[in-house]
Structure 1
Amino acid sequence: MRAGKVREKIGKWSGLGILKLLILLFFMIFLILPLVSILLVSFVGEPINLPGSLVDPQIRAATLEKLSNFSLTGYRDLWQDSRYLSALMNSLKLAAGVSLCVTLLCLPMAYAFARTDMPFKKTFAALATVPLVMPTFISSYAFMLMFGQTGWVNHLWRALGGEGVLFEVQSMLGIILVQVFFFFPYALWPMVAAFRAGDSALEEASRNLGAKGWFTFLGVTLPLAGPGILSSMLLVFTISFSDFGTPIIMAPKNLNLIVVEAYREIAGFFNWTGSAILTVVMVGVAALFFWLQRWVIRGKEYGTISGKPTGSGRVKGKGLNRFLSLYTLLVLLVPLLAVGSIFLSSIATTWGHHALPDGYTLKHYTALFSTSSGNILNSLILAMGALLLSVVIAVFVSWFVVRRGSVSLDWLSSIPLVVPGIALGIALIQTFNTPPLRLTGTGILLVIAYTIRRMPYMIRSTMGTMMAIRRDVEEASVSLGASPFMTMVTVVGPLMLPGIIAGGILVFVTVIKETSISILMAPTDWAPMSLAVFQNLLRGEFYTASAMSIVIIVLVILLQNFAGKLTRDQLY
């Protein structure tokens, strides 16, 4: 009897059991511990070395002494400090404005993709992915090339008789426009799905009762898609609130935004208290709206799918289809012109005196590959490191969650979704800035930060594939004598390959584009391309920055196309 219990305990802590413990430790050390640490710093007003407190009695005593000074003074000062309070209010106004504008902008396009025979639909769907391949700080720079004082749009504006500039690009309006035209795909496709889910029979019944087309849309179609639209709005709110790339480039000195203030507090003033409080506030706001978005999806769906056949629900009016096609083209034209502006800048000798460059050259690309090849190599190595770590963790997390119902791993793997990049970076820097785990300023911590930030994409992809694998495949392997761990590696792993490929490429691409983590945490000898572009912009080396931006965009497009082709080959 006792021998049986011993064998049971040994089996529990061997193989997959030990692996689960290691994964839990990874999340606890590099995610939970930094967040708890930054939360405590916000209350005590001093850096705290929690890892050191676990192994060194002197550090533990110093930490306990600091914790004795626990106070809400910092949060009280937040409401009294006009700079911090205005930063929070401005960020909330920005996110609210962007989410509303994106929703209104996407409504006609989403309806067109879902319910009409709009011309060039497949072409527009492909072009709608363009905003997703551009890091936001590159999009911001593109808008400055277009709408800045010497931008080509304003050259055309003055040539047509206008005065000055169309609008001040480095302003709240400029930030809103950049985020609207480069964040709209996050809302577009969920809204398309929401319009497609509605039962067209209800619309036909409304029209049969004499309702006009616009009344049917407002009274039937729109309410049915309402939960999906509201969910998309909340998602865009969270993305806009957490965005670092656009404000750091375009926010004027008199416009305080919380992500920029948090960056300045840690990178410029080494103010741990201020950066910690702003970090906690950012995480709290992002978590609140992420929860609201999930709540809307789970609790407010209006079911209309009954299993009965329904009509296609396609709107056949030629006039409406042409109007929607023109409208979609005009919206997509903005990010396309932004990419074109970056490309022109990358091959320009000089640009600013006229609407077009004064001359053209490829010297910026030759200089780029001769002087910045290290940045390109760094990006590839760091992205590959994050990819490999994400694959190992995500595959086993998916198995534990789907097969063993591990609530703890499911919950831990979802936390990075609500932590803004700048907040995660500040928390990691503060936690691992001192012995015994002094990792700040190393490539190792940078890879770990990338992995934590982007791992949810991999986990969601592999989890979907894991759910499609039948249990009897694993049972057959175990019945033939293979251990559960060996079954995972030799049977389940290969079957999960399509999900691993899709999620892996997504992780690789998003790491290549990562802005906030790179700018805040990357050491000089591991500077990736995104940091090099940012530094070139700060130094005024705009043409070199444009050339490297084009390299990033091309690399991302190639990887995405490769992922799509590879995934199709695996699935069919």
Structure 2
Amino acid sequence: MMKRFLAQLNGLSVLKWLIYLFFFVFLLVPLFSILLVSFTGQPINIFGSFTSQKIFNSTIEKLSNISAEAYTSIFSEGNSYFAALINSLELGTGVAIIVTLVVLPIAYAFARTKMPFKPFFAALCTIPLIMPTFISSHAFVLMFGKTGWVTQLYHSFGGEGVLFDVQSMLGIVLVQVFFFFPYALWPMVAAFKISDVTLEEASQNLGAKSWYTFLRVTLPLAVPGIVSSMLLIFTVSFSDFGTPIILAPKDLNLIVVESYREIAGFFNWAGSAVLTVIMLLVAAFFFWLQRLVIKGREYGTISGKPTKQKLNDHKGTLVGLTIYTFLITFVPILAMGSVFLSSIATTWGHHALPDGYTLDHYKTIFSISGKNIWNSMVLAGGTLVLSVIISTFVSYFVVRRGSGGLDFVSSIPLIVPGIALGIALIQTFNTAPIHLTGTAILLIIAYTIRRMPYMIRSTMSSMMAIRKDIEEAAISLGASNLIAALTVIGPLMVPGIAAGAILVFVTVIKETSISILLAPTDWAPMSLAVFQNLLRGEYYTACAMAILIIVIVIILQAIAKKITKDQLY
């Protein structure tokens, strides 16, 4: 049996097992480790248990005291963890429902009408995606806070106080609604496009009004895509760390904030582990539910001949949808503009506009925070290299060799919130024999695991477009499987690899939760510098750094779009 295994072993097989080993060591073991901690209430050193008899005996002793008390106590009266879970579920549900209702008219306008300025509105819809959520949250403070410019305008018209308390559940909901809606928009646009327009025409020919046709024909056909988008928004909202860490008041418990405070503030391994497991279970359930909806409920119509869609050109409808779309997409523009004004303001808070303007804050970040900029570039570059290598071969093994195992394992990070992954990695690698906590290496690995699924999807699409007989021709001429993959398949995948690499680079530049938990002082990236400046009250320099991050992201996304010739976005 061993001889047969060695005979089958080649370069590609070794790479495949190395990739499995990477996921096992840096994803599966940390998640399993944090599960054990949630039952024992004490840190578990799994790797150390295999290298030291003393650690092994300690681990066995801890495991002998396994108890579900930490979970059962959550449901006791007055438990803060239970309150945090309920609040997070309410937040995710509320945001999912509101986003769906807000986006529905816009998606219909893009897919089924002749609404003018569609390319312009599509460009505006990318702005929420380029702003990290904690920057968006600060932008809302600049707008609606006690000294915000919207509040100042409100006072000038005779109003008192504030329009609403931005540092509240309502403030968190509004930020997430206006900055998460693009995640639901494009899937819903696709859902509206797949329905057969002839059914609508038949309904109207039978005398049905346009609104009745929309409610009874168009909308039901789009329901699977709408429900899937709603579930996605729930997961994104539930796992979001940037918004609540800035806007959540002290009396509002949310599970992501509680888990962060337990590990960063109190070093409470038991509490943070329990909250991490709960986050994983909730995220996994809704991710599974979304996949179930897409797989089991996707439907449309089949006809013998293709039909050309007749787009709605009713003047009143177009005017109404255009105005509505502009109002929704204009809010993120105002938020980004507020951050920019703060970045060039001498002081701001007494009037609707800054008291003066200066570029000194940008000089400050390049002189004092230059290391943070360099750190971001190096960390993102390291993540890019590691992601390209692993993702390219994962795509090859999944598409060419039908490796369902790698496909499954590489999809797990999609359901792991950033804060949960960070806590799991800290617990697993904070002691010998693999002591990586507090190093740039673990930070790069965490970034890679967190963002690799996006890279894999891009490279997988490129792999599917490459004909298999090209590779077979190289093998028939004497090349090994590994050489054929590197010299034939690799060059043909360059566009997909480049686009995916830029996407990884962009998301790493914006990453917040992993950076806050894992970044050592010497390797603090720009996102962490912005967060720390906000906590210290250095708002102007924080905004200048935030604008720099946004500019980098815009440039890289433009390059990615050019590389893929508008096929990626």
Q: Tell me which residue corresponds to 2:49.
A: 53
Q: Tell me which residue corresponds to 1:93.
A: 90
Q: Residues of 1 paired with 2:201 and 2:515: CA distance?
A: 53
1:139 is displaced (CA, Å) by 0.2
The aligned runs of 1:93-492 (5 Å cut-off) are 93-306=90-303, 308-492=305-489
Aligned length: 567
1:197/1:305 contact within 8 Å kept: no
1:498/1:570 contact within 8 Å kept: no
Deviations 1:422-453 (A, max 9, x none): 00000000000000000000000000000000
1:312 is displaced (CA, Å) by 1.4
Task: Tell me the TM-score normalized by structure 2.
Answer: 0.98
Q: Residues of 2 paired with 1:142 and 1:257: CA distance?
A: 21
Query: Partner amino acid for 2:68?
Result: L
Q: Residues of 1 paired with 2:262 and 2:91: CA distance?
A: 21
Q: Aligned in 2, Cα 1:569/1:271: closer, same or farther, shift over 3 Å?
A: closer
- RMSD across aligned positions (CA): 1.3
1:75/1:277 contact within 8 Å kept: yes
Deviations 1:489-516 (A, max 9, x none): 1110111112111111111000000010
1:441/1:521 contact within 8 Å kept: yes
Q: Tell me which residue corresponds to 2:36.
A: 40
1:313 is displaced (CA, Å) by 2.8
Unaligned 5+ runs, structure 1: none
Q: Tell me which residue corresponds to 2:537.
A: 540
Query: Partner amino acid for 1:208?
Result: N
Q: Residues of 2 paired with 1:12 and 1:99: CA distance?
A: 49
Q: Which of residues 68, 71, 77 in structure 2 aligns to 1:72?
A: 68
Q: Residues of 2 paired with 1:54 and 1:332: CA distance?
A: 55
1:554 is displaced (CA, Å) by 0.3
1:565 is displaced (CA, Å) by 1.1
1:10 is displaced (CA, Å) by 3.3
1:303 is displaced (CA, Å) by 2.2
1:466 is displaced (CA, Å) by 0.9
1:347/1:364 contact within 8 Å kept: yes
Query: Partner amino acid for 1:217?
Result: F
Q: Partner of 1:348: helix, strand, or coil?
A: coil
Q: Residues of 2 paired with 1:10 and 1:74: CA distance?
A: 47
Q: Residues of 2 paired with 1:12 and 1:87: CA distance?
A: 52
Q: Residues of 2 paired with 1:549 and 1:569: CA distance?
A: 27
Deviations 1:441-471 (A, max 9, x none): 0000000000000000011111111111111
Q: Tell me which residue corresponds to 1:22.
A: 18
Q: Residues of 2 paired with 1:488 and 1:344: CA distance?
A: 51
1:11 is displaced (CA, Å) by 4.4
1:319 is displaced (CA, Å) by 1.4
Deviations 1:91-149 (A, max 9, x none): 00000000001000000000000001101111001110000000000000000000000
1:570 is displaced (CA, Å) by 11
Q: Residues of 2 paired with 1:302 and 1:13: CA distance?
A: 44
Q: Partner of 1:168: helix, strand, or coil?
A: coil
Deviations 1:270-324 (A, max 9, x none): 0000000000000000000000000000001122143522131300111111110
Query: Partner amino acid for 2:176?
Result: Q
Q: Residues of 1 paired with 2:476 and 2:296: CA distance?
A: 42
Task: Tell me the TM-score normalized by structure 1.
Answer: 0.98
1:349/1:360 contact within 8 Å kept: yes
Unaligned 5+ runs, structure 2: none
1:262/1:275 contact within 8 Å kept: yes
Deviations 1:376-425 (A, max 9, x none): 11001001111110000011111111111111101100000000000000
Q: Partner of 1:231: helix, strand, or coil?
A: helix
Q: Partner of 1:180: helix, strand, or coil?
A: helix
1:566 is displaced (CA, Å) by 2.1
More moved, 223-232 vs 460-469: 460-469
More moved, 10-19 vs 230-239: 10-19
Query: Partner amino acid for 2:71?
Result: Y
Q: Residues of 1 paired with 2:214 and 2:240: CA distance?
A: 33
